[in-house]
A = this chain, B = another copy of it.
């Protein structure tokens, strides 16, 4: 390893392609050296665009490439386990996009492997690296709102993703695919979750019943501290990508989130209008970059990961409990 960490990105979908680009100029100390995807065209196109000659269709070849100092996994969730195992076996520091897995036993198996091999492993939960969430964490830690007692969070997609994408067999369903971000934030801000209770329904897109998933849900949380939480998820935030969190403390409250993307307001007889945040890339681009920068810094400086594999397992455990609670209409202890 010279002074720059050689990065190999596995999985070149929308997010993976962005990650690969970030590693060609925007992340200090890390540089893209290889890309991999099962789709040969995707590898060829992006490789050419970014001037990367090491283009693999087998991730194993990328992992064993000597120039690859660290591996960034952005492939479909179902492939995470075997790639993480392979990277761990070769001792390559690994960044893995959320969720770890949609199967809790599988995730726990991954955690064991990471712990046994001692490989560096960082979990991807980009909201923790957003300027707003970081500032909130800082302000809470320094006591600005007293003791946090209620956690509220909303995640709303601006439109329904494709049924193929949403299929719970791959996505894990609404609580895992979408709610895992809010549940991770819940743990980060408030500590461990003791129990959950979920309600939900297919209320906006009847066609989702075919794939067996819901489009709206609300989860109540008891934290082990006795504090309370509520999370609402929706696929029909048709007015814009709406991600908000509020933490009420004994001395005040704190809100994170915004809806206005461009600094312009238009006021006519028709009303006051401004645009909204289109989707997660616009809302969280800088957080994704900061997250990857943190990964590179941690590897280069031998520091512990910003978000651990155990965090990934814990958030999945809470998501799975929320799913079960909804299905059985009862509180579920974690």
Question: Which A residues are closer than 8 A to B by beta carbons?
Answer: 24-26, 130-132, 135-136, 139, 144-145, 147, 149-150, 152, 156, 197, 199-201, 203-204, 216-218, 220-222, 226-230, 232, 234, 236-240, 242, 248-276, 329-331
Interfacial chain B residues near A203, Cβ < 8 Å: 147, 149-150, 226-228, 250
20 contacts between A and B (CB under 8 A): A24-B25, A135-B264, A145-B268, A149-B203, A197-B220, A199-B220, A216-B248, A218-B220, A218-B228, A218-B229, A218-B230, A220-B230, A238-B252, A238-B269, A252-B268, A253-B266, A254-B265, A259-B267, A267-B276, A271-B271
A251 near B268 with CB under 8 A, answer yes
Q: Which 9 A-B pairs have the closest CB atoms?
A: A25-B25, A252-B268, A271-B273, A132-B263, A239-B267, A149-B203, A258-B263, A204-B250, A255-B265
Expressed in whole angstroms, the minimum distance between the Cβ of A314 and any Cβ of chain B is 20
B262 near A131 with CB under 8 A, answer yes
Interfacial chain B residues near A259, Cβ < 8 Å: 267, 272
Which residue in chain B gives the minimum CB-CB distance to A253? B267
Q: Out of B199, B255, B275, which one reaches A197, CB within 8 Å?
A: B199
Interfacial chain B residues near A136, Cβ < 8 Å: 264
Q: Out of B217, B232, B250, B330, which one reaches A152, CB within 8 Å?
A: B232
